[in-house]
Amino acid sequence: MNVVVCVKQIPDPADPGQMDPETRTLKRDVKLILDESDSYGVEMGLQLVDAAGEGEVVLVSMVPNNEVSGLRTALAMGAGSAVLVSDEALAGSDALSTAKVLAAAIRRCEADLIITATESSDGYTGTVPVQIAELLDLPSATFAKSIEIDGDVAKVQRQTEDGYDEIECSLPCVVSVTAGVVEPRYPSFKGIMAAKNKPVDELDLAALGIDPATVGWAGARQEIVDIAEAPAGEAGEIIHDEGDAHERILAFLDDLKIL
């Protein structure tokens, strides 16, 4: 069972750096780390490979520079190898370009299953997973809270507002998993050391046969036209209980149309 997990390497949310006023995107010249959203997919992939008793988790990641530290984290968790697509021409890629590049890289792996997160923590368009599926002409399931492999079928529980749907996809397929549904293992010191010797296949656009004019700033069909500061959180209302607090809380919730 070979599971490809797409992992995005992003600026550390605890220390995200600056927005670039010209391109209106996040500057990515800082150290990039594993997007926490993807740690759930890595964990799920590892559990599926364990359950199958054979195969490995292969990571696929795309970055404009040749950052590997996020990949090392996922390799330290137990993934077997990684494919890194790295090319300066990738800077400014929109979601579709990203999906094209990832799809081209995934094609080179013999994947039984492709896992992504539902959305990344920095771009969060949530569009890449289904785009990959479309480009590879594979079935896709989204918002998975669990994946079980039964023969050549993936049984997926898809999170819904009220509960979950049970769906089945023939393999190979693309499944996006929801954050928080498994407990990602911690990369141990042994894992960290072992990760250094695991293969990371670095590819550029030429190696994938992708024309640089179709990706990056050059090929982007999506443009960020404006960015604005998030409005500061407003001070909450403090209700002092004078015997009627419960009524005022109900009225407050009623106003918000929560009740």
Partner 1 sequence: MPQLQTTYPRPPSSFLSDDHDDFRRTVASFVEREIRPNADAWEQDGQCSRELYAKAGAAGFLGLRYDPELGGSGLDFMATCVLAEELAKGDSIGTAVALMAQSEFALAILADEASDELKAAWMAPAIAGELIGAIGVSEPDAGSDVAAITTRARRDGGDYVISGQKTFISNGTRADFITLAVRTGEAGPRGISLVVFPTDTPGFEVGRRLDKLGARASDTGELFFDECRIPATNLVGEEGHGLRYILSHFGGERLVIAAFAVGIMERLIELGLDYAGSREVFGGPILGLQTWRHRFAEMATRLEATRLLAHHAARLLSDHEPPGDMAVSMAKLHAADAVQFVAAEVLQLHGGFGQMEESPIPRYYRDVAGFSIGAGTSEIMRELIARALI
Ligand X SMILES: Cc1cc2nc3c(=O)[nH]c(=O)nc-3n(C[C@H](O)[C@H](O)[C@H](O)COP(=O)(O)OP(=O)(O)OC[C@H]3O[C@@H](n4cnc5c(N)ncnc54)[C@H](O)[C@@H]3O)c2cc1C
Name the site residues for partner 1 (rule: CB under 8 A). 14-15, 72-73, 76, 185-193, 196
State the nearest-atom distance from the C-beta of 148 to partner 1, in Å.
23
Decide: is 124 part of the binding site for ligand X (CB under 6 A): yes
By CB under 6 A, the count of residues binding ligand X is: 29
Count CB-CB contacts under 10 A for residue 219: 19
* Nearest one of 82, 97, 182, 183 to 135, comparing CA atoms: 97
Nearer to ligand X, 2 or 37 (CB): 37
Strands 25-26 and 81-86 come out as unpaired
> Tokens 């250094």 label which residue?
196
| Token pair for 212 | 């640089």
Q: How far is the CB of 33 from partner 1 (least distance, A)?
A: 8
CB 105 within 8 Å of CB 82: no
CB distance 89 to 215 below 8 Å: yes
- The reply to whether 94 sits near ligand X by the rule CB under 6 A is yes
Among 3, 38, 157, 184, binds ligand X (CB under 6 A): 38
DSSP conformation class of 90: G
Q: Do 218 and 115 meet the contact criterion of CB atoms below 8 Å apart?
A: no
Tokens representing residue 79 in the block = 């993934």
Query: Rounded to 10 degrees, what is the CA torsion of 159, 164, 169, 172?
Result: 30
Residue 7 binds which of partner 1, ligand X, none (CB < 5-8 A, kind-dependent):
ligand X
Stretch binding ligand X (CB under 6 A), from 35-43, 69-77, 229-237, 250-258: 35-43
Q: Say which entry of ligand X, partner 1, none residue 72 contacts (CB below 5 to 8 A, set by partner kind).
A: partner 1
Considering only the stretches 120-128, 151-159, 229-237, 250-258, report the one whose residues sit in contact with ligand X under the rule CB under 6 A: 120-128
Q: By CB under 6 A, name the binding residues for ligand X.
A: 6-8, 25-26, 28, 35, 37-38, 61-62, 93-95, 98, 102, 116-117, 119-120, 123-129, 222, 224
